[in-house]
C-alpha cells in the first residue's frame, strides 16, 4: 500500500474494528477515517487516544477514500457501503480485511465460545514481556497492554478470532488456540454440530508445521482433526499443560504448573476464577509452543491485570464491591458467579443481568435459568436486542426468565428500565454485599450510575 492510501472504516467503534483501524494506520502507513453512531462506547476513548476521529454516518464519507472496510453489523444496504459500491471502490468486511493484514506475519488466532479476549490479552503480555514484539488485536481494552491494539516489529500477529458466521475462516494462522466450543449464536448456527464443524474446518486448515492448542476436557475435542501438532491444557491428568494444587482467594488464585510431566513453577494469578486459570493455561501453552521459556511466561502472567468488563472492579458502594463482567452466555454467567463465590465466600452476591439478544435468550432459556445457582439474588433488566431485532416485534421478556429463576429458589426480580435497578440497589446495598453486573449490552451503566450516586 502507498503512503497516501486512504481507508475508511464503517462502524469503527466496534471492539475489533477500532483495533484494526489503529493497526492498519501503522502497518499500512494509511490515512484512516471512520464513522459510527453517536452512542458512546469504551472504544471512543481508545480511538481518541490514537488520534482517530469518528464521523456520523453519511454516504459522502467515502467520496475521497481508496478502500472501505465495514463492520459485519452493517450490510449492503448501508448508505456508505452503497456509495462505495457505486464508486467502484474495494469494499471488505472486517474479517476479510483483517485476514489480509494478518497474512503479512505469522498468525496466532485465539478462538472459542468463551475466554477469547482474556486469553488473547494474556498471550500478548507474555510475548511483549518476552521481547517478541507482537502485533495484537484484542476484543477489549487491556490496561496492561495500553489498549486493544498494538503494532510490533516481531514475527507474530495475535488476534481474537470469532466464530460468528464463520468469520474466522478468513484467517490463516500458524498457531490456533481453541478455548472451548459451545452454541452461542443461534441466529446463525443451526446446532452445536454446526458450530463444531466450523471449528473443525478452521483447525483443519492449519499447516503441518503449525500447532493447535485446545482444552483437554472439551467434549468435542476429538471431532477437531488437524495436520498440526496438538497440545492440550486443563486440570486433568491427561492434559499436556495442567494446573495443580489450586488455591483461591480475594486476590485471584495460586497454583503449580506442570507441562509434559515437568513442574514449571508456581503461578500467582491476579484475576479471578477457575475459568481464568484455564485461560492462563491456554496462554502459557501457546507461549511454550512459540518458544518462550517458562520463567518469563509465568512472570508475565503474574503481572496480568485483566481486561475491561471481565470481572472488572469498578469501586465500592456503601462498602460493597461493585464488579462488572461481559458474561452473556449461561456458561460464562455460571463461571463468573463461581469466581465471585470462591473469591468472596462471605458476601451476599447480587447478580444484575441483562440478557443479550432475543435469539440467544430464547434458544438458551432453560440454561440461563439454571446458571445463577451461586447468586443470592438475581436482578434482571430487559433483553438487550441486536440491531436487527430492534426493527422486529418481540414477544419474549426478561420477566419470563425471572419467573424461571425464581422457581429454583433464588430471590429474583425484574425491572424493565435500568434506572429502576439503580434506584433499587441504591436503597438496598449493604456493606457485606457484592454487586455484579453481567451482560454484553449496556448493563454496565447500572454499576457506573450506582457508584456515581450519592450514598
pLDDT digits over 112-149, tens only?
999 999 999 999 999 999 999 999 999 888 988 888 99
Average pLDDT estimate for 374-383: 97
Contact present, 107 and 157 (Cβ < 8 Å): yes
pLDDT of residue 305: 87
387, pLDDT greater than 90: no
250, pLDDT greater than 90: no
Q: Is the dihedral of CA 200, 113, 280, 97 positive or negative?
A: positive
Range of the domain at 52: 6-93
C-alpha 444: how far from chain center: 15
Residues 44 and 192 in one domain: no
Residues 126 and 35 in one domain: no
Residue 245: burial class (beta carbons within 10 Å; 0-12, 13-18, 19+): exposed
| CATH number, domain containing residue 49 | 3.40.50.720
Residue 1 lies in a domain: no
Chosen domain end from 281, 302, 323? 302
193, pLDDT greater than 50: yes
Residues 290 and 211 in one domain: yes
How high does pLDDT run on average in the chain?
Answer: 94
Query: What does residue 38 show for φ and ψ, rounded to 5 degrees?
Result: -85, -10
- At residue 343 the predicted structure's pLDDT band, cuts being 50, 70 and 90, is confident
Closest residue by Cα to residue 384 from 319, 309, 445? 445
Alpha carbons 113 and 48: distance in angstroms, whole number? 30
Residues 123 and 246 in one domain: yes
Residues 337 and 401 in one domain: yes
Residues 110 and 211 in one domain: yes
Chosen domain end from 247, 278, 302? 302
Residue 139 lies in a domain: yes
pLDDT in tens, 19-31: 999 999 999 999 9
Average pLDDT estimate for 376-400: 89
pLDDT of residue 229: 98
| CATH number, domain containing residue 440 | 3.90.190.20
Q: Is the dihedral of CA 169, 285, 275, 135 positive or negative?
A: negative
Q: Counting every residue, how long is the chain?
A: 455
Query: What is the percent of the chain with per-residue pLDDT over 70, rounded to a whole number?
Result: 99
pLDDT of residue 455: 46
| CATH number, domain containing residue 160 | 3.40.1190.10
Residues 76 and 208 in one domain: no
- At residue 393 the predicted structure's pLDDT band, cuts being 50, 70 and 90, is confident
47, pLDDT greater than 60: yes
Alpha carbons 425 and 317: distance in angstroms, whole number? 10
Residues 134 and 280 in one domain: yes
Query: What does residue 175 show for φ and ψ, rounded to 5 degrees?
Result: -115, 140
Residue 53 lies in a domain: yes
Residue 98 lies in a domain: no
pTM, entire model: 0.88
Cell representation of residue 321 = 464491591
Residue 307 lies in a domain: no
Residues 212 and 327 in one domain: no
3, pLDDT greater than 60: no
- At residue 1 the predicted structure's pLDDT band, cuts being 50, 70 and 90, is very low
Q: How many CB atoms lie within 10 A of CB 193?
A: 11
Alpha carbons 288 and 301: distance in angstroms, whole number? 13
Residues 297 and 162 in one domain: yes
pLDDT of residue 454: 56
Average pLDDT estimate for 64-70: 97
Q: How many CB atoms lie within 10 A of CB 331?
A: 17
154, pLDDT greater than 90: yes
Provide the domain count of the chain: 3
- DSSP string spanning 169-190? GG---SEEEE-------TTT-S
Residue 100 lies in a domain: no
Chosen domain end from 93, 127, 152? 93
293, pLDDT greater than 90: yes
Residue with cell 469504551: 42
Residues 190 and 64 in one domain: no
Residues 297 and 323 in one domain: no
Amino acid at each position: 500500500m502507498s503512503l497516501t492510501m486512504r481507508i475508511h472504516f464503517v462502524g469503527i467503534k466496534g471492539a475489533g474494528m477500532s483495533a484494526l483501524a489503529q493497526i492498519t494506520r501503522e502497518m499500512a502507513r494509511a490515512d484512516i477515517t471512520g464513522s459510527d453512531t453517536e452512542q458512546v462506547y469504551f472504544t471512543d476513548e481508545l480511538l481518541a487516544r490514537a488520534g482517530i476521529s469518528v464521523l456520523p454516518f453519511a454516504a459522502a464519507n467515502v467520496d475521497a477514500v481508496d478502500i472501505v472496510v465495514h463492520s459485519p453489523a452493517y450490510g449492503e444496504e448501508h448508505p456508505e457501503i452503497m456509495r462505495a459500491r457505486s464508486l467502484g471502490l474495494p469494499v471488505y468486511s472486517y474479517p476479510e480485511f483483517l485476514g489480509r493484514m494478518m497474512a503479512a506475519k505469522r498468525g496466532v488466532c485465539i478462538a472459542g465460545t468463551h475466554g477469547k479476549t482474556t486469553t488473547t490479552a494474556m498471550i500478548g503480555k507474555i510475548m511483549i514481556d518476552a521481547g517478541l514484539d507482537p502485533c495484537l488485536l484484542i476484543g477489549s481494552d487491556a490496561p496492561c497492554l495500553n489498549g486493544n491494539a498494538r503494532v510490533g516489529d516481531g514475527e507474530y500477529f495475535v488476534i481474537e478470532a470469532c466464530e460468528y458466521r464463520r468469520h474466522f475462516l478468513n484467517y490463516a494462522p500458524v498457531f490456533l488456540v481453541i478455548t472451548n466450543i459451545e452454541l452461542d449464536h443461534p441466529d446463525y448456527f443451526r446446532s452445536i454440530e454446526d458450530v463444531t464443524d466450523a471449528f473443525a474446518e478452521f483447525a483443519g486448515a492449519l499447516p503441518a508445521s503449525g500447532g493447535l492448542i485446545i482444552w483437554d476436557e472439551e467434549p468435542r475435542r476429538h471431532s477437531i482433526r488437524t495436520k498440526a501438532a496438538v497440545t492440550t491444557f486443563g486440570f486433568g491428568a491427561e492434559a499436556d499443560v495442567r494446573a495443580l494444587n489450586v488455591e483461591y482467594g480475594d486476590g485471584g488464585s495460586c497454583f503449580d504448573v506442570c507441562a509434559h510431566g515437568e513442574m514449571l513453577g508456581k503461578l500467582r494469578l491476579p484475576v479471578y476464577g477457575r475459568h481464568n486459570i484455564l485461560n492462563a493455561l491456554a496462554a502459557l501453552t501457546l507461549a511454550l509452543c512459540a518458544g518462550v521459556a517458562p520463567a518469563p511466561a509465568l512472570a508475565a502472567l503474574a503481572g496480568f491485570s485483566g481486561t475491561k468488563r471481565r470481572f472488572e472492579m469498578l469501586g465500592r458502594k456503601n462498602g460493597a464491591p461493585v464488579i462488572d463482567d461481559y458474561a452473556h452466555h449461561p456458561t460464562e454467567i455460571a463461571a463468573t458467579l463461581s469466581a465471585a463465590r470462591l473469591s468472596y465466600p462471605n458476601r451476599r452476591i447480587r447478580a444484575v443481568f441483562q440478557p443479550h439478544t432475543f435469539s440467544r435468550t430464547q434458544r438458551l432459556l432453560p440454561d440461563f435459568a439454571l446458571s445463577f445457582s451461586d447468586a443470592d439474588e438475581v436482578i434482571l433488566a430487559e433483553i438487550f436486542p441486536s440491531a436487527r431485532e430492534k426493527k422486529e416485534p418481540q414477544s419474549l421478556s426478561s420477566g419470563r426468565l425471572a419467573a424461571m429463576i425464581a422457581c429454583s429458589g433464588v430471590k429474583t426480580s425484574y425491572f424493565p428500565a435500568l434506572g429502576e435497578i439503580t434506584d433499587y440497589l441504591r436503597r438496598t446495598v449493604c456493606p457485606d454485599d457484592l454487586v455484579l453486573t453481567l451482560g454484553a449490552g449496556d448493563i454496565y451503566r447500572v454499576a457506573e450510575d450506582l457508584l456515581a450516586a450519592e450514598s
